[in-house]
Amino acid sequence: MKALSGIDFVAEEGEKVFIAGKTGSGKSTLLRIFNGLIPFFYGGKLKGEVNIFGKSSEDVKKDVFFISQFPDEQILMGRVRDEIVFPLLQRGLDFEEAEKKALKVAKKLGVEDLMEKRTDEISEGQKQMVMLATALASGSRAIVLDEPFAHLHVRRAKTLHELLLKSENTIIASDHRIELSRGFRKVSMTELNREVNQEADQYGEDESEQETEFQVKRKVSKVVEVENLHFSYSHSDQLFSGLSFEVREGMTLAITGDNGVGKTTLLKILAGLLKPDKGRVMVHGKPSLSMQFPNYHFFSRSVADELGNITIFGLEKLAGRHPHSLSAGEAKRVSIAKAFRSDIVLLDEPMCGQDTSFRVQLLNEARRRGRTLILATHDEKLAAMCDEVINLDEICKNCKKGS
Amino acid sequence: MRFAKIARRALEGGGMEERTAILTSAFLSLSVLISFIPAISFAALIPPLLVVKRRVFYSLAAASPLLIVFFLTTLLLSGLVISDSISDSGLNSTLLPAPLWAALTSIMAVAALISAGTLLFTDNPSRMVAALMFFRIPFQAAFSIALAMRMLQMLMRDLENVSAILKMSETGLGYYKKLLLAITSVSVLRGIAVAETLYSRGFPGNFDYPLKKPEAREVILLLYSFILFLYSLNSFF
Ligand SMILES: Nc1ncnc2c1ncn2[C@@H]1O[C@H](COP(=O)(O)OP(=O)(O)OP(=O)(O)O)[C@@H](O)[C@H]1O
Ligand SMILES: [Mg+2]
């Protein structure tokens, strides 16, 4: 399968480039060419010439720091501090010096309080922050970022955006959120890769899709009841102390808040995967959860088998593909579609890797099918379109005061 | 997934300075292997219990299927082959039938080996790498141990997630079949992804990580394990 064709791309030293493109348009493939992962690690056929800092892309690994979409797989060390320090040690710095540098960057990004934490006990967004700190501290000449903002709270995304613009490094970033491209030179993947993208453009294209008003009869039956919820992970702080809310049938509810505030944890509690320490959680009906990184949560040989008889979100186009061959955004969409088979749909960061038009599609489908939708998101527009919003930042401030 | 939780608890690690832990663990394992005497196996349990405490039991619980299989096979095998050697060696108790005694001896030994191993579960894998390098193990080999621990943690979490997702739709045998398939493919995919990261980072490079100073208590435990080792050598010859 041809992924890219006829690409001409130049970035000057120190330049900040933003690559915008739709789900599955080949962004990740292009970014992997910049540090030689393609073709030297993954193989494949590459025609034409690739020059990075005047060298072949085979030996630029010290110059180019690449961060993929999956922070979990980028983390090599057991502790946050060691992770950020590692590239510096590799370059021959002594530990103290490296630690100082790491702490400085961590402070800029606002993650200094994570330094002592275990890397498998932080939230997905926090993992992304740690990887970004690692890249910025590493002293590489260029940083290549695949959707660096995808899991970050808006405020944190802004901080990072400014840091990237201020840095002396060459920065190449790709994301769906075009609003974060301010100050960057914008490059559209659709134009760059015109020869291949003609087809890929067809689904999820119409940004103009309107939110349809469904005559939802306000149902009164409660589907989810949470009363005086208390929860904490074994050796960390209290996440919830006395959280209460209820969700009625057919309602859409957005859970928002800073990275690490407990959105994912709350969804897992609602799905029955985590048990509350105290309080009552009642869910009337069968919930289905699509997790923040669902790429490995597929069990069939094709997307069609995975989805069964539900047709939704224009996924018919992918029916014959193996679920593990999908791009991150496509896999996310399939996982969301799967969750729609249940009455209570729980989604963790559904906008991740999706085009902006997906907001409307998502809510339309939920309302048309009469699903109860509970989602955790950093996307303020999506949250605003939901019937109700729970902002955990505010609630947790209050309940900490109360306790 | 209760199993994954127990195993994760066991792997939490920490307790002993890494260099002393490596040596203590080595001496204890050797004593058990050389002597194969229940009393020594029992004595070898003491340092892990003092240092690793409760987590020893989590490890043993996680390994319990293995222990049971071990117990049953030795019981059966020694029942069939019942060796005069055991009764001749003077180690057998007059209270217990020989096969049972043999099975108990071997299960004690395996339990002692597992607990000696728990000393190596560090709460700071980087320092374990540095400790191994202190004993002249090359960085790449040492680092692969730390990386294996990190991967193990990641796969445990995957196992929990995948099983949770599956439980929402599958039941009975189908659940186990799909779980097995899924966890196999996840392991492979995660492996490739981590290899990609190593490649991207220009691995290996340098690694100069600070070590801790062993405490007096840790040195005493090391001495204890060394003496046990000498004693078992003595019983061997
Ligand atoms: N398995 C775990 N063990 C211990 N602590 C954890 C674990 N998972 C998460 N935490 C901690 O609990 C808090 C909440 O995590 P959670 O994943 O729910 O956050 P979140 O709101 O989903 O964040 P994000 O927006 O980054 O995804 C975080 O501070 C995190 O450090
Ligand atoms: Mg989350």
pLDDT tens digits, one per residue of A319-337 = 888 888 888 889 999 999 9
Q: How far is CA A241 from CA A273, A355, A377, in A?
A: 19, 36, 21
Whether B153 and chain A come into contact, CB under 8 Å, resolves to: yes
* Range scoring the smallest mean pLDDT among A3-12, A66-75, B126-135, B205-214: A3-12
Tell which phi-psi region holds residue A147, choosing left (phi > 0), alpha (psi between -120 and 50) or beta: left
Q: What is the dihedral of CA A392, A396, A399, A401, to 10 degrees?
A: -140
Q: Which of A27-36, A204-213, B134-143, B145-154 has the lowest mean pLDDT?
A: A204-213
Q: Are residues B157 and B131 in the same domain?
A: yes
| Domain shared by B71 and B105, yes or no | yes
| Cα A335 to middle of ligand 1, angstroms | 21
Are B51 and B119 in contact, with CB atoms under 8 Å apart? yes
Q: Within a domain: residue B207? A: no
The predicted structure's pLDDT at residue A144: 92
pLDDT digits (tens, 9 = 90+) for A53-72: 777 777 777 788 999 888 88
- B90 pLDDT above the threshold of 70: no
Please provide the average confidence, as pLDDT, over all residues in chain A.
Answer: 85
Q: Is the minimum CB–CB distance between B174 and chain A shorter than 8 Å?
A: no
Q: In angstroms, rounded to a whole number, what is the distance separating the alpha carbons of residues A127 and A124?
A: 5
| pLDDT value for A131 | 94
What is the per-residue pLDDT for A99? 92
Question: Does any domain span residue B195?
Answer: yes
Task: Out of B126, B165, B210, name the one closest to residue A77 (CB).
Answer: B126
A390 φ, ψ (degrees, to nearest 5): -110, 115
Residues B116 and B136 grouped into a single domain: no
**Which percentage of chain A shows pLDDT scores above 70?**
91
Contact B126/A at CB under 8 A: yes
Give the pLDDT confidence score for residue B228 in this predicted structure: 93
**Average of per-residue pLDDT across B8-27:** 87
- Taking 50 as the threshold, does the pLDDT of residue A201 lie above it? no
Q: Are residues B110 and B68 in the same domain?
A: yes
The pLDDT, as a whole number, for residue A401 is 44
Instruction: Check if A122 has its Cβ closer than 6 Å to any atom of ligand 1.
Output: yes
CB contact under 8 A, B205 and A41: no
Across the range A17-22, mean pLDDT stands at 84
The answer to whether position B206 is within a domain reads no
Averaged pLDDT for residues B88-112: 74
Phi, psi (5° rounding) for residue B104? Answer: -65, -40
Nearest Cα residue to atom 28 of ligand 1 = A260
Mean pLDDT of A178-183: 80
Please tell me whether residues B36 and B80 are part of one structural domain.
yes
Query: Based on the domain organization, do B79 and B177 belong to the same domain?
Result: no
Predicted confidence (pLDDT) at residue B26 exceeds the cutoff of 90: yes
Instruction: Determine the distance in angstroms separating the CA of A77 from the nearest CA of chain B, rounded to an integer.
Output: 7
Tokens 């997906």 belong to A358
Indicate the residue of B195, B202, B208 with minimum beta-carbon distance to A89: B208
pLDDT at A268: 93
Tokens coding B92: 């057998």
User: What's the rounded mean pLDDT across residues A82-102?
Assistant: 90
Q: Is residue B229 domain-shared with residue B185, that is, in the same domain?
A: no
pTM of the entire structure? 0.86
Candidate from A1-15, A70-84, A120-134, B155-169 with smallest mean pLDDT: A1-15
Q: Is B133 on the interface with A (CB under 8 A)?
A: no
pLDDT of residue A7: 76
CA distance A386 to A304: 29
How far is Cα A42 from Cα A68, in angstroms, rounded to an integer? 14
B81 & B179 share domain: no
- Is position B172 within any domain? yes
Ligand 1 proximity of A259 Cβ (cutoff 6 Å): yes
Q: A398: part of which helix (H) or strand (E)? A: helix A392-402
What is the spatial order of strands in the sheet that A252-256 belongs to? A287-290, A344-348, A372-376, A252-256, A388-391
Please write the tens of the pLDDT for every residue from B144-170: 888 888 888 888 888 888 888 888 777
Contact A82 B197 (CB under 8 A): no
Residue A364 has pLDDT above 60, yes or no: yes
Sign of CA dihedral B17, A117, A144, A336: positive
Shortest CA distance from B176: residue in chain A: A299
Q: What is the pLDDT of residue B95?
A: 63
Size of interface A-B (CB pairs under 8 A): 113
Nearest to B193 among A62, A70, A92 (CB): A70
Name the closest residue on chain A to residue B183, using Cα atoms: A296
Give the closest residue (by CA) to ligand 1 atom 7: A121
Q: Are residues B185 and B91 in the same domain?
A: no
A95–B201: do the CB atoms touch at under 8 Å? Answer: no
Name the residues around ion ligand 2, CB cutoff 5 A.
A 123-124, 263-264
Looking at the structure, do residues B28 and B95 belong to the same domain, yes or no? yes
Q: Where are the alpha helices (DSSP H) in chain B?
A: 2-11, 18-35, 38-51, 54-62, 64-81, 84-88, 98-118, 125-134, 139-167, 172-200, 216-236
Q: Do B168 and B64 share a structural domain?
A: no
| pLDDT score, position A295 | 85
Structurally, chain B folds into a number of domains equal to: 2
Name which residue sits closest to atom 2 of ligand 1, judged by CA: A121
The CA distance from A126 to the nearest CA of chain B, in Å, is 16
pLDDT at position A196 = 65
% of residues, chain A, pLDDT over 90: 35
- pLDDT band with cut points at 50, 70 and 90 for residue A202: very low
Task: Please tell me the distance from the alpha carbon of residue A270 to that of residue A372, in angstroms, as a whole number.
Answer: 13
C-beta of A236 in contact with ligand 1 (< 6 A): yes
The ligand 1 atom nearest the CA atom of A234: 4
Claim to verify: residue B30 and residue B93 sit in the same structural domain: yes
Assigned token pair, B124: 């700071």
Look at residue A200 and tell me whether its pLDDT is greater than 50.
no
- Please give the pLDDT value at position B224: 95
User: Which of B186, B190, B206 has its CB closest to that of A91?
Assistant: B206
Return the top range by mean pLDDT from A37-51, A78-92, A303-317. Answer: A78-92
Ligand 1 atom nearest A349 alpha carbon: 27
The answer to whether the Cβ–Cβ distance between A61 and B200 falls below 8 Å is: yes
Q: Is residue B205 a part of any domain in this protein? A: no
Residue linked to tokens 């702080």: A237
pLDDT, tens digit (0-9, with 9 covering 90-100), for A271-283: 988 899 999 999 9
The verdict on B183 touching A (C-beta cutoff 8 Å) is no
Contacts with B189 from chain A: Cβ below 8 Å: 295-296, 324
Note down the domain range covering B166. Answer: 125-200
Task: Determine, yes or no, domain membership for B208.
Answer: no
Quote the ipTM score: 0.83
A9 C-beta closer than 6 A to ligand 1: no
| Residue B87, in any domain of the structure | yes
Contact B149 A78 (CB under 8 A): yes
B54 Cα: distance to centroid of ligand 1 (angstroms):
26
Residue A403 clears pLDDT 50, i.e. is over it: no
Chain B contact for A61, CB < 8 A?
Answer: yes
B135 occurs within a structural domain: yes
Mean pLDDT of B107-131: 89
pLDDT at residue B16 tops 60: yes
Residue with the smallest CA separation from ligand 1 atom 17 is A123
From the CB of A268, is ligand 1 less than 6 Å away? no
